[in-house]
């Protein structure tokens, strides 16, 4: 082969080799950039906390932006990002404080128009060093709006989705609170309606609450009182009161209302206590058939009237034995202790002696103790200055207890 032809062939082969080498280097470079872009994009979505590692980059004007991007920033391409895993969703949800549903929606949605994910790169490192595995330690991901120049370390959709989540939670809590208020209002309205109905029934029959002393003045008023109770508590209008009707009827009355105070004068118990209500029902239900008739109610109120009259007579007889100036002192001195106070056992003794004259035979110790405890229950509502529990009842306090008709207040109201 002629030397000239051989030389041409060698040159052609060299050119082809050079072209192939150049193409290979070009492809290699493209591949490296693609790997870097996709890896950084995936890293940004996997760990949103890296958005906060450094202060946001300053906004750039149009003239400086090209140089800024050329030297220090890589625009991430998210075309190769895979669907977020369960772990990724959990990390994003915990990182920005939203539910996993919101985090999944955020990760699945595309960035708004003009927004791009960017990575800051320190140029003291070569691209080979970054691709070989060092880029995780030398990069920062942020989001840049190429239309407005705005930059943010947070995903542009974070504020939107977190705001929607907060608004939903706020409405949920408002609905719960509104439902609670509504239930309370309905309950209060129901209770108020029951009390109003009972007040109206009682007022319609008795016109106005009468005092205990006036109520015990004659048989007619006793019958009226019994009819008031029967008509008010008898819900099914069968002419008798079941234990449930009697209990619910008492509990439906406000003890602080006029009607409530009126009934306290009649029954003399705390109807908030189930045992006391059950005991009262048993006392009234003479035949033990589990229901109260008008006749049983009337007999019970009459018995209270007789008891009140008897107490009034006994106390008046005892008081009449001494002068008006010394009657409280005489009673107090008879039962006080050596220290000059009345204690619970002294009240028990006083009740026992009063009971002997009332019933013709002594009352049991249990009865006297119960009555004495009820008397002292009134004292429990007084201040420490008025009543010293450790010492007992003073003469001045005893005077106040007997001021409205000596001991009558204690005896008739059965405190």
Torsion, Cα 41 45 46 49, to 10 degrees, reads 110
pLDDT of 89 > 70? The answer is: yes
What is the arithmetic mean of pLDDT over 265-272? 61
Between 202 and 236, residue with greater pLDDT: 236
Q: In 10 A of CB 33, how many CB atoms?
A: 14
Among the ranges 185-199, 243-257, 401-415, which has the highest mean pLDDT value? 243-257
Matching residue, tokens 């109260």: 292
Q: Per mean pLDDT, which range of 16-20, 24-28, 142-146, 335-339 is the poorest? A: 24-28
Interatomic CA distance for residues 369 and 391, integer angstroms? 18
d(CA 395, CA 3): 148
| pLDDT given for residue 93 in this prediction | 79
What SS3 class is residue 12? Answer: helix
Is the pLDDT at 375 greater than 80? The verdict is no
Q: What does pLDDT average to over the chain?
A: 64
Res 141 pLDDT > 60 = yes
Regarding predicted confidence, which is higher, 39 or 301?
301
Mean pLDDT of 42-69: 41
Q: Strands, DSSP E only, in 189-342?
A: 241-242, 291-292
pLDDT (0 to 100) of residue 51: 36
Q: Percent of the chain at pLDDT above 70?
A: 39
Calculate helix-pair angle for 294-320, 344-359, nearest 10 degrees.
110
Confidence of residue 317 (pLDDT cuts 50, 70, 90): low
Residue 282, pLDDT score = 87
Task: Give the pLDDT band of residue 138 (cuts 50, 70, 90).
Answer: very low
Residue 8 confidence (pLDDT) above 60: no
Tell me the average pLDDT across 51-69. Answer: 40
- The model's confidence at residue 283, banded by pLDDT at 50, 70 and 90, is confident
Q: 75 phi and psi, to 5 degrees? A: -85, 120
Tokens of residue 349, six digits: 């003794």
């Amino acid at each position: 082969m002629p030397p000239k032809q051989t030389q041409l062939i060698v040159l052609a082969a060299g050119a082809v080799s050079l072209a192939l080498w150049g193409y290979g280097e070009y492809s290699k470079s493209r591949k490296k950039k693609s790997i870097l872009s996709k890896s950084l994009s995936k890293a940004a979505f996997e760990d949103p906390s890296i958005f906060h590692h450094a202060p946001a980059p300053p906004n750039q004007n149009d003239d400086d932006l090209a140089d800024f991007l050329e030297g220090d920033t890589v625009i991430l391409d998210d075309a190769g990002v895979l669907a977020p895993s369960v772990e990724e969703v959990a990390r994003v949800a915990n990182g920005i404080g939203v539910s996993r549903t919101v985090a999944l929606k955020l990760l699945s949605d595309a960035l708004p128009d003009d927004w791009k994910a960017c990575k800051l790169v320190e140029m003291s490192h070569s691209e080979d060093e970054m691709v070989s595995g060092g880029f995780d330690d030398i990069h920062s991901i942020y989001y840049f709006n190429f239309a407005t120049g705005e930059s943010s370390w947070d995903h542009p959709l974070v504020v939107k989705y977190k705001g929607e989540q907060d608004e939903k939670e706020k409405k949920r809590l408002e609905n719960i609170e509104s439902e609670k208020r509504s239930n309370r209002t309905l309950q209060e309205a129901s209770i108020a309606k029951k009390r109003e109905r009972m007040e109206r029934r009682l007022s319609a029959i008795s016109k106005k609450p009468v005092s205990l002393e006036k109520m015990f003045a004659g048989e007619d008023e006793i019958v009226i009182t019994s009819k008031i109770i029967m008509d008010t508590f008898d819900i099914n209008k069968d002419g008798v009161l079941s234990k449930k009707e009697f209990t619910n009827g008492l509990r439906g009355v406000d003890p602080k209302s006029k009607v409530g105070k009126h009934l306290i004068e009649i029954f003399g118990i705390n109807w908030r206590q189930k045992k006391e209500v059950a005991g009262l029902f048993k006392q009234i239900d003479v035949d033990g058939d589990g229901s109260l008739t008008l006749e049983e109610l009337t007999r019970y109120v009459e018995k209270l009237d007789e008891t009140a009259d008897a107490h009034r007579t006994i106390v008046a007889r005892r008081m009449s034995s001494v002068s008006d100036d010394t009657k409280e002192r005489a009673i107090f001195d008879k039962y006080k202790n050596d220290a000059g106070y009345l204690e619970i056992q002294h009240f028990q003794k006083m009740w026992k002696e009063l009971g002997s004259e009332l019933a013709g035979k002594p009352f049991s110790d249990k009865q006297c103790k119960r009555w004495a405890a009820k008397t002292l229950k009134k004292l429990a509502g007084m201040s420490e200055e008025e009543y010293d529990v450790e010492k007992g009842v003073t003469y001045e306090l005893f005077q106040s207890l007997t001021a409205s008709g000596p001991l009558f207040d204690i005896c008739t109201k059965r405190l």
